[in-house]
């Protein structure tokens, strides 16, 4: 079952196209990252999914059906800065949230445990760090036990400790079977947390799919020897090599997915009288793939 499917979704603000015929699908049980720089359309996209923004064109489905009040109640959202009463404790603030939602009051202890705030549940919200405030906001989203969680820039403005805390919460929620859809401009966070990704640029979808597939479009093997120039000349004859780049003190070799074979490469060099002093298989980072995609579009 697809949790979310968007079909040719568009949104215009006058002459500005915030979304340009965007189409992708979010499978059940994944952590789906919507990645792009500021102004790429991430927040607009989440706004249309949560019915805050009306699209100009296209359509979307939730749980393989047309969106309805019932389907949206199966989703917990965090799209803005957490807003709680500063003089009340975490527990008291969640009691108010549960009353507004008309559900989840008996879940308060459990959701605080999910976001690792049980030990600070009686502390005033004003005493919380930014990371703790964000985790409390996630706890509020969890009231009512939604199947899907939608977050817009959940680590925005946090220090490294806060980012690591939110990252761990995301992983724990995914382990519990939640489907998570999150927008972010932080490449590193998407790579560490997400199983799937859609990359946007100026409202246009550049690519989408499992993170591993997007990362492994090209394989990289780094090699080095005593004579780098000699190695470069020999290595050019190695089968299936796409290109070689000299990056002192190594050569960076590029292969299509599935074509890079470090063992065969080592044997090839040995048979040509070259002894390698360095050989390392590398996976292209999401950052390099993102730069490659956005520079070419």
Task: Give the tens place of pLDDT for each residue, 18-35.
Answer: 999 999 999 999 999 999
For residues 71-94, average pLDDT: 91
Question: Does residue 143 or residue 214 have the better pLDDT?
Answer: 143
> Which of 185, 181, 221, 219 is closest to 200 using CA atoms?
185
pLDDT in tens, 240-297: 888 888 888 899 888 876 778 889 999 999 999 999 999 988 766 566 666 666 665 5
3-state secondary structure of 107: helix
CB atoms within 10 A of CB 190: 24
Does the pLDDT at position 119 exceed 60?
Answer: yes
pLDDT at 82: 73
CATH number attached to the domain at 2-209:
3.40.50.300
pLDDT in tens, 160-198: 899 999 999 999 999 999 999 999 888 878 888 999 999
pLDDT value at 36 more than 90: no
Model's pTM, two decimal places? 0.77
CB burial class (10 A; 0-12, 13-18, 19+) of residue 261? middle
* Spatial separation of the C-alpha atoms in residues 174 and 193, rounded to whole Å: 9
What local confidence, expressed as pLDDT, does residue 183 receive? 93
**If pLDDT is split at 50, 70 and 90, which confidence band does 217 have?**
low
Question: Per CATH, the architecture of 216-295 is what?
Answer: 2-Layer Sandwich (3.30)
Confidence (pLDDT) at 260: 80
In this prediction, residues 112-140 reach a mean pLDDT of 94
SS3 25: strand
The sign of the dihedral angle between the CA atoms of 124, 130, 132, 135 is positive
Q: Where are the domains of the chain?
A: 2-209, 216-295
For residues 182 and 31, the answer to whether their CB atoms sit within 8 Å is yes
Q: Say what the pLDDT of residue 120 is.
A: 93
Share of the chain above pLDDT 70, in %: 93
The mean pLDDT of the chain is 89
């Amino acid at each position: 079952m697809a949790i979310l499917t968007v079909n040719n979704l568009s949104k215009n603000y006058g002459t500005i196209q915030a979304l340009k015929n965007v189409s992708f699908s979010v499978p059940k049980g994944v952590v789906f990252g919507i990645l792009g720089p500021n102004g790429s359309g991430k927040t607009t996209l989440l706004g249309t999914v949560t019915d805050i923004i009306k699209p100009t064109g296209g359509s979307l489905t939730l749980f393989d059906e047309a969106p309805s009040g019932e389907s949206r109640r199966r989703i917990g959202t965090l799209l803005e800065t957490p807003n709680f009463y500063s003089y009340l404790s975490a527990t008291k603030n969640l009691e108010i949230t549960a009353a507004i939602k008309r559900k989840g009051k008996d879940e308060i202890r459990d959701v605080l445990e999910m976001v690792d705030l049980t030990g600070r549940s009686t502390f005033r919200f004003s005493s919380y760090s930014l990371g703790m405030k964000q985790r409390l906001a996630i706890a509020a989203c969890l009231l009512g036990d939604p199947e899907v969680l939608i977050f817009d820039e959940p680590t925005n403005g946090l220090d490294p400790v806060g980012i690591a805390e939110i990252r761990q919460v995301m992983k724990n929620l995914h382990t519990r079977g939640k489907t998570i859809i999150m927008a972010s401009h932080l490449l590193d966070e998407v790579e560490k947390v997400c199983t799937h990704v859609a990359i946007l640029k100026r409202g246009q979808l550049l690519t989408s799919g499992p993170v591993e597939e997007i990362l492994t479009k090209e394989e990289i093997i780094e090699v080095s020897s005593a004579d780098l120039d000699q190695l470069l000349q020999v290595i050019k004859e190695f089968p299936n090599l796409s290109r070689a780049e000299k990056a002192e003190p190594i050569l960076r070799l590029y292969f299509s997915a599935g074509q890079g074979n470090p063992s065969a490469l080592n044997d090839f060099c040995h048979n040509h009288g070259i002894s390698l002093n360095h050989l390392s298989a590398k996976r292209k980072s999401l950052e390099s793939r993102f730069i490659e995609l956005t520079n070419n579009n």
